[in-house]
Amino acid sequence: MRVLFTGLPIQSHLVPVVVPLAKSLQYAGHEVAIATGSAIAAEVERHGIPVLVLPDALAPEQVRPEQLANTGFSLEKLKQWRPEVTGPLSLPLFSSALTDAFAANVIEAAKSWRPDVIVRETNEYGGYLAAEVLCLPLAVVDIAPLISSLIPDLTDQLNVLRQGLGLPAVDSATHASGRLTAGLLPEQWYPAALRTPGHRHYRVNDSFDDHQPAPATTPFVLAGFGSNLRTLLAADSELLNITVEALGSLSVRAVVALGSDDAVAAWTGPRPANVELAPFVPQRRLLGESDLFLTHAGFSGVREALTAGVPMVALPLFADQPANASRVDELGLGVKVDTAGLTPDTLAGLVKRVLDEPSYHLAARSFQRDILDLPSLSAFIADLESLT
């Protein structure tokens, strides 16, 4: 079986799940490739996965202002974004122009590579359109379960692109879910409206199966806001200062990931003795030792925390993060923080609340057990084979 994955050229969209899944397919004897942009090609190839470089698949930093026309977004907004003042940043979650170009690139690449099936990551719709044109079965690796519901008029936008490719209109954007969707958390994570007949649910990894926080008199808190934070925040944002000061005021041990060696070297904010500042951290390993995860609520981080059975204080910053944070709150797995007007005292109070209230820890451990009851993601291979 020849499996072509499609994904946006963003590290968090491909490396945590799509790359390991592609490796598993390789080990099972299948031929795989990932169709994406040049910005992430070297990183993917470093893992031993061939890349079909698509010339029009652009990373966020490569997108030109005119390509964001009609999305309601301006690059000027980034220069002044301070989430502790204005709240989460509204980013464009779908671009018709970029999706159309991505689809054309995949269709062209498929002429020589000749896939048997296309597997797209949730945020990337060009692979869906290409599969339709090429009459190939489609599957989805659902790395952002809540994001499709946040795109206004998605069905209409897809139908415009379908018309341009000579395809008939569809009644719902759920058509882009294909015949098989790999959910990466148990079904209860999905609101009922997002559960499709093709959904099956899998466990991504086994590394937290035996998680038991080591007995300690001082709780351990891990804080991280993702790899994109430093490039998005305005230079005068106080978000990280607020975080460090809040954790410094509590009887905890904490590690705060700032995102780069330069960020640590240039740090001029508070340096409480109980808080370690790090450029990057081995997040999955440290979650296995954590009592609480202070997170921006990116889906990968949420999934890893739940796999470790760790409750969260979710401080959403952009994209689907507010929706993920709301789901964490709704399911009793932690609390959602309103970033606008955030102060160290407010944040410290919420961290203390989650640490002190047993219900959050019990809910996270219960959800962890549900995750561990799922079949491994390797079972997705057999399900994928059934499509061809």
* pLDDT for res 188: 96
The predicted model gives 268-287 an average pLDDT of 94
Query: Encoding tokens for residue 29?
Result: 């004897």
Is the distance from CB of 371 to CB of 205 less than 8 angstroms? no
Q: Is the pLDDT of residue 164 over 90?
A: yes
Q: Is the pLDDT of residue 306 over 80?
A: yes
Cβ-based neighbour number of residue 42 at 10 Å: 9
Q: Which fold has domain 2-70+94-206+374-387?
A: Rossmann fold (3.40.50)
Beta bridge partners, 318, equal 89
Q: Is the pLDDT of residue 233 over 90?
A: no
* Secondary structure (3-state) at 2: strand
Domain with CATH 3.40.50.2000 in the chain: 2-70+94-206+374-387, 220-372
- Rounded (to 5) percent helix, strand, coil in the chain: 45, 15, 40
Residue type, 136: L
Query: 161-165, 260-264, 348-352, 372-376: which range is least confident on average?
Result: 260-264
Is the distance from CB of 290 to CB of 308 less than 8 angstroms? yes
- Of the pLDDT bands very low, low, confident and very high (cuts 50, 70, 90), residue 301 is very high
Cβ-based neighbour number of residue 166 at 10 Å: 8
For the chain, percent of residues with pLDDT exceeding 70: 93
- Of the pLDDT bands very low, low, confident and very high (cuts 50, 70, 90), residue 236 is confident
Per-residue pLDDT of 198-219, as tens digits, reads 999 999 974 543 445 545 579 9
The four Cα atoms 59, 65, 71, 77 give a dihedral, to 10 degrees, of: 90
**CATH code linked to domain 220-372:** 3.40.50.2000
- The H or E element that residue 57 is part of is none
Per-residue pLDDT of 97-141, as tens digits, reads 999 999 999 999 999 999 999 999 999 999 999 999 999 999 999
Is the distance from CB of 344 to CB of 246 less than 8 angstroms? yes
pLDDT greater at residue 274 or residue 92: 274
Q: Is the pLDDT of residue 275 over 80?
A: yes
